[in-house]
Amino acid sequence: MAKALDTKDAREAKPPRGSADSSNNSGDSIAAMLDANGVLTAEAERAANISDEELRTLYRLMVVSRRLDQEGLNLQRQGELGLWGPYAGHEAAQVGAAMAMAPTDWIFPYYRDFAMAVCRGIDPGAIMTIFRGLTHGAWNPNEYRFAPFIIPVGTQVPHAVGFALGCKLDHDDTAVLVGFGEGATSTGDWHEAMNFAAVFNVPLVFLCENNQWAISVPMRQQVSGRIADRAAGYGFPGVRVDGTDVLTVYAVVRAAADRARRGEGPYLVEALTYRTQAHTTSDDPTRYRTEADVEPWKSKDPIRRCAERLQARNAFDDAFAQAVSEEAEQRALAMRQHLLSAQTPHPASAFDLVFANPPESLLREKAEFIEALEPERGE
């Protein structure tokens, strides 16, 4: 594990501690899976019975996701995207959590959860059209059981709680996962959602991707104590896990989702990681942190740690690494080509996304809007 940073921000950048020793988690079998650093114990890893092939899949998806992230940054710098939110450092938290959910489960992402969308099989090129400003919804949520990206901080959390309550009322064997950053835990939406989820005992896994920076605001100015411990105040358990270890995230979220499906209610997983790049391409992180702050976390790179686990299992070689790298390059190229060939939709298409059966008043408004448009060149 990385050493704590030798700066005034060291307190929020300590390596993750597990919750197995927390009095708030007494008798919690999920917390008992973790050691003091928030990593699966050897016994818990054996019990989780995660095969070499499953771990190789997690590695592959992380490598692909990181390459797509870099391509997103490239595209924005080349003027092809209006904005990009890098997620380097989040790969283990996002891939581990998304792959831990059953295909029939639902995921409610926040704007940085690109890797989760990739895990759900959504075309990365289609997702990119959102950041190009061509669409507000690039996929059918029902098809992928994956809700739209949400930009306002924290507002997707009550959406997920309401959906999970609906699953419970329908006696549907479905668990729901909602992702958010640690900054969202300072919003009213998050606290109201936590309380509502507990009161109605909904089948929901709260996943906090704690990258320790809410844009330029460090953890110590956001939260007193650990986010995972906040769950106890609402009457359900929470744990902090090492968010750079994909196997730990996968096993813990899978256990929490299984618990939710059994009717045992919500669970909070705080995945401690670090945002190694800017908040978005509109942000300059050098204004509020130094390279010395970032450097210790590079040794905890999620992809390298997964490779080391695979090597320890004798399940990693150069041929596999090369094949994964080539796949990542091919998918990045396909994403770029999809984006650059995407057509700009007609402005009036925005009216088509409001009602399934639009009222006459909206249809009249749409007709007036079209009439008022300036003709395109060549017409």
Active site amino acids: 275, 279, 288
Residues in the chain: 379
Say how many CA atoms lie within 13 Å of 123 toward its Cβ.
16
Burial class (CB in 10 A: 0-12, 13-18, 19+), 48: middle
Q: Which positions ≥6 away from 183 have C-beta within 8 Å?
A: 153, 214, 215, 217, 222
**Three-state secondary structure along the chain?**
CCCCCCCCCHHHHCCCCCCCCCHHHCCCCCHHHECCCCCECHHHHHHHCCCHHHHHHHHHHHHHHHHHHHHHHHHHHCCCCCCCCCCCCCHHHHHHHHHHCCCCCEEECCCCCHHHHHHCCCCHHHHHHHHCCCCCCCCCHHHHCECCCCCCCCCHHHHHHHHHHHHHHCCCCCCEEEEEEHHHHHCHHHHHHHHHHHHCCCCEEEEEEECCEECCEEHHHCCCCCHHHHHHHHCCCEEEEECCCHHHHHHHHHHHHHHHHCCCCCEEEEEECCCCCCCCCCCCHHHCCCHHHHHHHHCCCHHHHHHHHHHHCCCCCHHHHHHHHHHHHHHHHHHHHHHHHCCCCCHHHHHHHCCCCCCHHHHHHHHHHHHHCCCCCCC
Sign of CA dihedral 226, 230, 231, 232: positive
Nearest CA among 199, 209, 189 for reference residue 109 = 209
